[in-house]
Amino acid sequence: MAAGGDHGSPDSYRSPLASRYASPEMCFVFSDRYKFRTWRQLWLWLAEAEQTLGLPITDEQIQEMKSNLDNIDFKMAAEEEERLRHDVMAHVHTFGHCCPQAAGIIHLGATSCYVGDNTGLILSSGVITAHCSLRLPGSDNSVSISQLARVISRLADFAKERASLPTLGFTHFQPAQLTTVGKRCCLWIQDLCMDLQNLKRVRDDLRFRGVKGTTGTQASFLQLFEGDDHKVEQLDKMVTDKAGFKRAFIITGQTYTRKVDIEVLSVLASLGASVHKICTDIRLLANLKEMEEPFEKQQIGSSAMPYKRNPMRSERCCSLARHLMTLVMDPLQTASVQWFERTLDDSANRRICLAEAFLTADTILNTLQNISEGLVVYPKVIERRIRQELPFMATENIIMAMVKAGGSRQDCHEKIRVLSQQAASVVKQEGGDNDLIERIQADAYFSPIHSQLDRLLDPSSFTGRASQQVQRFLEEEVYPLLKPYESVMKVKAELCL
């Protein structure tokens, strides 16, 4: 934008998403160079299709356009936009300046949304799938689906390795029955698998706006082809094919329906909710000292407290995930206020929310992959917490064992109740350890089952079918879902800052 600041200067604001967090590949996808290069590609595809269908466009004009796709004079474009107050026409003139032979046929029959909307769809499709017509420099894999598949794969490895490691479950963040570390991780994986399937659905549902004209009626192209309806349809299909889309909208106004943006950002917002939940769990487990995210050798947790090991990566994910979740409100409101065939109050909003949604998703997935590649578990801490809570959980098993040994269920229940209250008092009033088992061992009433206490208190006997559930879930749901992405699994996550 001609009136914009110098975004490379320390005296000008620059979005932290670009300067601190998102990957260079994702930043490039939403750069001016990539955007306006895509505009030029769209103008070339239109001219090629129009020539093929018989319009008087020469091979020399086509070749001139091809030769100047990357020859973008950004200074001239900015000056033209300041003069014309129209970004598309500014770039039509700038492209025409370096293509004097082709200048008269650039943008022939098209409206601004031909390049604006179709570029947005190309970017969305390409970012989600890594298969856009204009490839990312240096990598085809730094995109949403591949990133998400890698995160799921890393967490699946983690879950498999710890499928049988008992840990205290929490409901209401209060101690509950035992689960396993791997089973808890599968709760995270299941949400991410749903996000992956939703991303694939959105990708498969994306359609090209195509060649529709000012109000979607294709009237300008019908005039160009002298009323030949078949050629207009061929033109639309040819450009759609060149852009790599299987389908185009039959019905549009000047724009494609803005409900498409709702669909895309809703899926990304849902992903944000999943990541926020996962990283919140990791932060809580870090407080309990049961699990930690990676912590680098020279990393500083606090400027004032040298001993701190703050879960900085997980906190970043939560912070940015909240931003991602709120962005869906923009397309929701934009779609609701599009008057008739189109109104321009969508434009400035979409410039911000669409790019920020993908940049934010890129950041949180890259960061979550980094976390999942270096999660640290502390089994001894987990074991100690289980020992504090398990005696209370085991009381029903102890009662059943006493009944089998000939005791009265009611008498045993009363004995356990009294001893439990005494043990709870030690924990709460004195800050001591849970000594219920020691009290049971010291009480002659329970002598018939003293030899069974170790077995009755084995944590693995309290985890139900957790380990079997992990194995079945991974084999039946996760691994088949990841199979198409095996070629990208070795890519490691690298944090910008």
Domain with CATH 1.10.40.30 in the chain: 380-457
* Torsion 163-166-171-173 (CA) sign: negative
Q: Tokens in use for 351?
A: 């410039």
Q: What is the DSSP letter of 246?
A: S
Which residues belong to CATH 1.10.275.10 in the chain?
16-134+211-230
**Cα distances (angstroms) measured from residue 328 to each of 34, 183, 261, 349, 352:** 24, 31, 9, 12, 12
Quick one: tokens of 323? 């931003």
CA pair distance 357, 123, nearest whole angstrom: 12
pLDDT digits (tens, 9 = 90+) for 105-152: 999 999 999 999 999 999 988 777 643 333 333 333 335 888 999 999
Q: Looking at the whole model, is its pTM more than 0.85?
A: yes
pLDDT in tens, 340-371: 999 999 999 999 999 999 999 999 999 999 99
Point out the residues of the chain with pLDDT beneath 70. 1-8, 129-143, 296-308, 495-497
Question: 6 phi and psi, to 5 degrees?
Answer: -85, 100
Q: What is the pLDDT of residue 4?
A: 54
Q: 145-208+255-293+309-377, what's its fold?
A: Fumarase C; Chain A, domain 2 (1.20.200)
The predicted pLDDT at position 495 comes to: 67
Q: What is residue 306's predicted lDDT score, i.e. its pLDDT?
A: 58
Range list of H helices, 294-339: 312-327, 329-336
Q: What are the tens digits of pLDDT across the range 441-492?
A: 999 999 999 999 999 999 999 999 999 999 999 999 999 999 998 888 888 7
- For strands 166-171 and 174-180, give the pairing: antiparallel
Whether 302 sits among the annotated catalytic residues: the reply is yes
pLDDT on residue 490: 81
| CATH code for residues 380-457 | 1.10.40.30
Helix boundaries (H) for 206-258: 219-224, 229-242
All CATH 1.20.200.10 domain ranges of the chain, comma separated, are 145-208+255-293+309-377
CATH class of the structural domain 16-134+211-230: mainly alpha
Among 12, 67, 302, 487, the one annotated catalytic: 302
pLDDT at residue 279 in the model: 98
The one catalytic residue in 9, 172, 230, 303 is 172
- List the beta strands (DSSP E) in 239-366: 291-292
